[in-house]
């Protein structure tokens, strides 16, 4: 039981001890004398020239009393956990959080995983013998022919000129450029005109050659111009441009640049040594590869073939021109490389024809397009049949020859194209035969059976009208392209489509629409406009109702804050729970690495949505009164597909849409817009030749690094970088010139940083380090605008979210100078989670353990004339109340500002801390009244909590 150190009277808590010391006259005088004595001793030590905390400042540990689980608050007050409003109690000074120990809770810690390799006895992925790779063959051929490393070009400079011309200049402009006197008289390249230049490009090593096949289709419209009797039907001829998929697979497998990101055998990963918590991310960690490997002979290497296709517009002004590219990649390459357009790990497989089909009547035109699509894809995919059954010897990136079986595994497409591939109507599920009226019932239906579907398709071709054919919603395509592909199941090949099914579909087209009906368009716009500024978060200045065209990125930005905005309004709790469930599902489905726990959380989120979805019909936000929506039903397949093929981010349709820029739109712009597909293939062949030769040159440099004459860098110069970096944060070595001389008065002012208790907090900080110096409002400080933190690596969200910024930028007043007017800019003062190490029964054991929310208003360093020398930057923060139990409806923590309005103090609880105690930024959304909702913009904290369960 704590006692007063002056009169030794026992009390029930430390708060009562402090209250007694302020109210009892004798004890208060004794406390004042002790404080005066401490100040006198500090002053004497300063005069004797003793060093006063020249090392890095460290907070002084404080002894605290045990706190009951149901009574926990920053100030030590007894409060009801359900009440988030700070009571107006009397204290003389602002008391900082009770620091027991400050562990580095956000320090990067290695995530342990246990790998189970495929049984070695079956020799899966084993190399049979060594052989030269394609790049080694090119190098050997150059040596034998006496050619330079630059191939048909004279030297590196000429190669760089050729690369720039082919990438940036059209044919006509290239010819004009090469005839300029400065080029012909000074540069003097080996190619004097456009034709010689293109001949040099064509002499480079080529990738897979293009082929063209003509397909003539006979319609059901009579050709009266040729045959007035009407006996002859009209025809239409279409061109199919494509490449051999087996050769494309061989090129990808044999590219030495992919050597370090290539896998040749399946694996199983676990988060525990007992193998109970499975980890699923890359394709080789899914069950599809492992199960298929069991069916194939020993020593076979599987190359999972991933196909994607998507029709795209090329021009809206010149006949509405379109192209239909088909792309190919393989699951042996890591998904981060596969989805990067610059890596060229996804290749263009072909261009499907886009017929007008005027030779068909309107009633039969749709079915004819289905049949032509499958006829074209059948031609393209036919080489996979023999290679999948019998194998093909391929030299792989590591220089080993393997018996490779390229097996069609996955098809990446949007919903209409999935129905086209599956030969089903567009009001049906392409994966299962669920009744169209039961798609919103969240029922488990077995997948379509390939053999059964082919049976009904053949029966339809023979003129039989089976009831099952109509019940399953099939289209009369007699020869679907996937019918003979070995070891393939088209109905498990459709991967999750995050872009169209989740971000654009379920979220934007449905959930936002329903909530707008409930909340109101103007109110929802107002909520979006009132979102506080936050680094990495888009601010919708004009709301969302006036945006005419959305992108996937904008949908994701909306998803970060949508639940908080709906929860902050006056809506039915069931609406909030339904929104929470669906946004949770979207976030979990978007993870880049899954565990058994995250997949269970994914399933629970979907179950919760279906539990509360009826509220949208009850409130007349959803009309008609059902949820038979194809994209809502597609969510039922996500868990199984992730377990089969790995995380959904490896198959997102955003990647093919990005490839359209390079392989369709840019290629079309390089043509004369007439008969453009052959011209596009020629242009692309030359572009690929440049990219392929660039990769070869990069490989040669890695094999034999070219020495340079540049002197080695001075280690001392490397230390003089303009960035201060620690294991947790980095910031500019010097504050920007505009904020190097800021008066404390400006920091305190609402027109500056609004740091109301800056001077008292600074005095307390100096005193805690044995310095009795008294700061004044005319002191000058240097301020940083922001600090960047490196978050720990979390595989579930990837490295792109590891950069975390905390800003402390004051108000910028309107200014007029040099003929320019600069508008006033509001302050950008971010919230952050700060390490305290204090015990909290509501956060202990979670990712928020030992953290508390604070408002960062200034990042500064002490003036050089202060007696206390501190090398580390400091931050002025204002505390919020401790985190209580999350709200049962929204799942958010509710907090309020921590302040005192008695005892001569009227202001927030404030403190000066070293910046290494800041863990990361945090986002707050204002709730009506005085409550606030805290949440993490990238759900990093939530994911870490799921992992730790």
DSSP 3: B
| 104-108, 175-179, 813-817, 885-889: least confident range | 104-108
Higher pLDDT, 882 or 724: 882
The residue among 85, 203, 86 whose CA lies nearest residue 142 is 203
- Give residue 49's pLDDT: 43
Instruction: Using the Cα atoms of residue 559, residue 565, residue 571 and residue 572 in order, give the sign of their dihedral.
Output: positive
Tokens linked to 584: 């949770």
Instruction: Please give the radius of gyration of the chain, using alpha carbons only, rounded to the nearest integer.
Output: 34
Higher pLDDT, 592 or 903: 592
| 20-24, 133-137, 807-811: least confident range | 20-24
- Give residue 901's pLDDT: 63
- SS3 label, residue 660: helix
- Give residue 40's pLDDT: 54
pLDDT classification of 652: cutoffs 50, 70, 90? confident
Residue 527 reports pLDDT greater than 70: yes
CA distance linking residue 294 with residue 770, whole number of Å: 71
Residue 861 reports pLDDT greater than 80: yes
The residue among 517, 593, 619, 509 whose CA lies nearest residue 558 is 509
- Give residue 708's pLDDT: 37
- For the whole model, what pTM was predicted? 0.83
- Give residue 144's pLDDT: 80
Q: Which residues pair with 623 in a beta bridge?
A: none
DSSP 436: G
Q: With left for phi above 0 and alpha for psi between -120 and 50, is residue 8 left, alpha or beta?
A: left
- Give residue 19's pLDDT: 60
- SS3 label, residue 329: strand
Residue 633 reports pLDDT greater than 80: yes
CA distance linking residue 596 with residue 949, whole number of Å: 11
pLDDT tens digits, 270-286: 998 888 999 999 999 99
pLDDT tens digits, 219-255: 888 888 888 888 888 899 999 999 999 999 999 999 9
Contact 210, 685 (CB under 8 A): yes
Q: Is the peptide bond before 624 cis (omega within 30 degrees of 0)?
A: yes
- Give residue 444's pLDDT: 81
pLDDT classification of 58: cutoffs 50, 70, 90? very low
pLDDT tens digits, 344-380: 999 999 999 998 888 998 889 999 999 999 999 999 9
Neighbour tally for 290: CB within 10 Å: 17
Instruction: Compute φ and ψ for 353, nearest 5 degrees.
Output: -70, 150
Contact 947, 279 (CB under 8 A): no
pLDDT tens digits, 748-779: 999 999 999 999 999 999 999 988 899 999 99
pLDDT tens digits, 159-176: 999 999 998 888 788 888
| 456-465, 683-692, 790-799: least confident range | 790-799
Instruction: Compute φ and ψ for 194, nearest 5 degrees.
Output: -60, -40
CA distance linking residue 786 with residue 775, whole number of Å: 24
- Give residue 106's pLDDT: 43
| 60-69, 179-188, 214-223, 257-266: least confident range | 60-69
pLDDT above 70 covers a percentage of the chain that reads: 82
pLDDT classification of 580: cutoffs 50, 70, 90? very high
pLDDT tens digits, 85-111: 333 333 333 444 554 444 444 444 556
Q: What is the rounded average pLDDT for all residues in the chain? A: 83
CA distance linking residue 49 with residue 359, whole number of Å: 100
């Amino acid at each position: 039981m704590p006692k007063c150190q002056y009169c030794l009277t026992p009390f029930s808590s430390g708060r009562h001890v402090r209250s007694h010391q302020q109210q009892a006259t004798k004890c208060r005088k004794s406390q004042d004398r002790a404080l005066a004595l401490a100040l006198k001793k500090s002053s004497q030590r300063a005069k004797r020239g003793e060093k006063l905390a020249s090392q890095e400042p460290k907070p002084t540990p404080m002894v605290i009393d045990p706190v009951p689980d149901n009574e926990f608050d920053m100030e030590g007050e007894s409060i009801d956990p359900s009440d988030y409003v700070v009571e107006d109690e009397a204290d003389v000074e602002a008391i900082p959080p009770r620091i027991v120990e400050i562990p580095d809770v956000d320090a990067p810690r290695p995530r342990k995983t246990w790998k189970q390799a495929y049984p070695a006895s079956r020799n899966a992925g084993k190399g049979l013998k060594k052989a030269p790779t394609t790049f080694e063959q090119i190098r050997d051929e150059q040596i034998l022919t006496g050619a330079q490393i630059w191939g048909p070009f004279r030297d590196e400079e000429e190669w760089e000129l050729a690369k720039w011309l082919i990438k940036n200049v059209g044919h006509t402009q290239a010819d004009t450029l090469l005839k300029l006197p400065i080029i012909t008289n000074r540069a003097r390249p080996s190619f004097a005109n456009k034709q010689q230049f293109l001949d040099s490009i064509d002499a480079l090593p080529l990738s897979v050659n293009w082929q063209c096949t003509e397909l003539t289709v006979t319609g059901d419209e009579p050709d009266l111009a040729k045959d007035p009797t009407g006996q002859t039907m009209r025809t239409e001829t279409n061109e199919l441009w494509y490449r051999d998929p087996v050769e494309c697979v061989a090129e990808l497998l044999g590219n030495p640049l992919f050597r370090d990101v290539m896998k040749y055998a399946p694996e199983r990963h676990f988060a525990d040594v007992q193998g109970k918590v499975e980890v699923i991310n890359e394709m080789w960690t899914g069950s599809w590869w492992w199960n298929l490997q069991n069916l194939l002979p020993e020593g076979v290497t599987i190359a999972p073939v991933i196909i994607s296709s998507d029709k795209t517009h090329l021009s809206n002004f010149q006949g509405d021109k379109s192209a239909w590219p088909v792309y190919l990649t393989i699951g042996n390459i890591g998904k981060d490389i596969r989805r990067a357009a610059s890596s060229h790990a996804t290749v263009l497989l072909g261009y499907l024809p886009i017929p007008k089909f005027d030779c068909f009547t309107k009633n039969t035109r749709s079915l004819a397009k289905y049949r032509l699509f499958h006829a074209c894809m059948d031609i393209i995919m036919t080489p996979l049949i023999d290679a999948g059954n019998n194998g093909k010897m391929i030299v792989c990136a590591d220089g080993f020859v393997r018996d490779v079986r390229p097996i069609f595994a996955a098809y990446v497409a949007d919903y209409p194209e999935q129905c086209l591939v599956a030969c089903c109507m567009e009001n049906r599920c392409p994966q299962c035969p669920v009744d169209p009226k039961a798609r919103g019932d969240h029922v488990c239906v077995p997948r379509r059976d390939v053999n059964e579907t082919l049976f009904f398709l053949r029966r339809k071709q023979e003129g039989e009208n089976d009831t099952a054919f109509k019940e399953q919603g099939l289209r009369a395509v007699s020869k679907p392209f996937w019918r003979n592909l070995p070891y393939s199941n088209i109905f498990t090949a459709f991967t999750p489509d995050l872009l169209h099914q989740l971000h654009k579909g379920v979220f934007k087209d449905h959930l936002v629409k329903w909530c707008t009906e409930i909340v109101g368009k103007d109110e929802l716009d107002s909520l979006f406009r009132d979102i506080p500024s936050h680094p990495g978060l888009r601010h919708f200045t004009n709301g969302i109702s006036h945006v005419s065209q959305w992108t996937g990125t904008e949908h994701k930005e909306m998803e970060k804050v949508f639940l908080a905005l709906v929860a902050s309004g006056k809506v039915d709790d069931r609406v909030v729970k339904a929104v929470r469930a669906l946004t949770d599902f979207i976030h979990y489905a978007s993870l880049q690495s899954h565990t058994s726990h995250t997949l269970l959380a994914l399933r629970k989120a979907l179950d919760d949505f279906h539990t509360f979805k009826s509220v949208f019909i009850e409130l007349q936000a959803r009309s008609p009164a059902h949820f038979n929506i194809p994209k809502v039903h597609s969510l039922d397949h996500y868990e199984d597909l992730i377990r089969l093929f790995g995380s959904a981010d490896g198959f997102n349709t955003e990647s093919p849409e990005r490839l359209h820029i390079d392989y369709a739109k840019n290629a079309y712009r390089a043509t004369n817009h007439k008969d453009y597909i052959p011209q596009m293939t020629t242009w692309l062949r030359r572009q690929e030749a440049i990219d392929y030769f660039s990769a070869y040159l990069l490989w040669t440099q890695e094999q034999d690094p070219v020495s340079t004459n540049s002197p080695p860098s001075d280690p001392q110069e490397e230390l003089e970088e303009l960035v201060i970096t620690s294991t947790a944060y980095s910031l500019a070595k010097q504050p920007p010139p505009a904020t190097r001389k800021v008066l404390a008065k400006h920091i305190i002012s609402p027109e500056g940083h609004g740091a109301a208790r800056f001077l008292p907090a600074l005095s307390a900080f100096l005193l805690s380090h044995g310095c009795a110096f008294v700061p004044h409002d005319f002191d000058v400080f240097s301020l940083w605008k922001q600090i960047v933190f490196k978050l720990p690596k979390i595989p579930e969200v990837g490295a792109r979210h590891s950069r975390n910024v905390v800003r402390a930028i004051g108000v910028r007043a309107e200014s007029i100078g040099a003929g320019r007017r600069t508008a006033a800019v509001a302050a950008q003062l971010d919230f952050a989670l700060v390490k305290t190490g204090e015990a909290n029964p509501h956060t202990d054991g979670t990712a928020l353990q030992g953290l508390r929310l604070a408002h960062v208003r200034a990042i500064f360093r002490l003036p050089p004339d202060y007696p206390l020398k501190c090398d580390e930057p400091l931050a002025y923060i204002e505390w919020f109340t401790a985190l209580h139990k999350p709200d049962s409806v929204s799942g958010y923590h509710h907090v309020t500002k921590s302040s005192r309005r008695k005892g001569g103090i009227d202001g927030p609880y404030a403190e000066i801390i070293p910046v290494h105690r800041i863990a990361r930024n945090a986002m707050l959304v204002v709730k009506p009244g005085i409550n606030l909702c805290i949440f993490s913009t990238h759900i990093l904290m939530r994911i870490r909590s799921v992992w730790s369960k």
